[in-house]
Amino acid sequence: MDRIDLHILRELQNDGRLSNQELAHRVGLSPSPCLRRVRQLEQDGVIRGYRAIIDPEAVGRGFEVLVSVEVRRDRETVEAFEEALQDVPDVIEAYRLFGSPGCLLRIAVADLAAYERLWIERLTTLAGVTEVNSQIIMKRVKEPKGLPVDIRGA
């Protein structure tokens, strides 16, 4: 990737709805080569997709919780736990960690009662779970804005 590709990535992260015409203008290309570069970045898997950022309150999921989960540390149990997480739509992010806790989840539900139901009925019943600790998010201080893309060194 060269400086122009990195510039394209930075612009699309800031606004994935840019027209090719506007994107080309911002990165200093004509539309045709700009579109070729974007398609190549998509084909190479550098650009994984495009999505809308939705207000959680607008879809009834304004109550967010960070949950640390300890799971028995054998391969089959960890794999079963991770597979089971795929079927829990309230878990919007999940990370396997080194050390303790073994897993960190970000959960979005309607309210405390909905989280309590999820905790009792799903989280504590997942394969190999030995401990579940919850931290309720008070306020989002910094929104995810994508990865820093530095074009200065390219």
Average pLDDT over every residue of 61-88: 96
Residue count of the chain: 154
Element (H, E) at 68: strand 63-71
pLDDT tens, residue by residue, 30-51: 999 999 999 999 999 999 999 9
Question: So what's the pLDDT on residue 145?
Answer: 82
CB 11 within 8 A of CB 27: yes
CB 4 within 8 A of CB 37: yes
Q: Which of 36-40, 138-142, 144-148 is the most confident on average? A: 36-40
CA dihedral 82, 84, 85, 86 (to 10 degrees): 100
Position 154 pLDDT exceeds 70: no
Question: Is residue 100 packed enough to be buried (19+ CB in 10 Å), middle (13-18) or exposed (0-12)?
Answer: exposed
Averaged pLDDT of the chain: 94
Which residues lie across from 94 on neighbouring strands? 105
